Amino acid sequence: MKKRTPRVVIIEDDEYSREAVEHLLKAEGCETRSAAGGVSGYCAARRFLPDVIVLDLNLPDIDGQRVFGKIRSNRILSRVPIIVITGYSRDEIPAEVSSSAEFCITKPASFDDVIRAVFDLLRRDATFSAINWRL
């Protein structure tokens, strides 16, 4: 049986960061979609149905917190793990985001930290799926 390629959506307005994360994930065998804004990122997630979403909270069009809420309230996307990356300090991250996101990474963050978080979540979900399948 062929293993499915992991799918990741990156919603980040900083072009350098967005492209670097996307490049590194593709080099590791992931299929990616990226967006510079919250509206386009949410639409990309709805169309692409990713395994993980990387979401910046500081976006140019709508607040990343609103995007986070829309993802969590969407029937299909609500179970997709979200990695939040932000320039906010830990105590500035809204409680509803920090308590519900799988990872909150503050900037400046190393790209390795983001990639490691993505693969931690992919491994966790693969293990969970295998356990449920055997039950």
| Res 127: pLDDT | 58
| Res 134: pLDDT | 39
pLDDT at 114 over 60: yes
pLDDT at 42 over 70: yes
Q: What is the mean pLDDT of residues 91-97?
A: 88
The domains found in the chain, sorted by start residue, are 7-134 (3.40.50.2300)
The fraction of the chain above a pLDDT of 90, given in percent, is: 76
**How high is the mean pLDDT of the chain?**
90
Tell me if 37 sits within 8 A of 59, measured CB to CB. Answer: yes
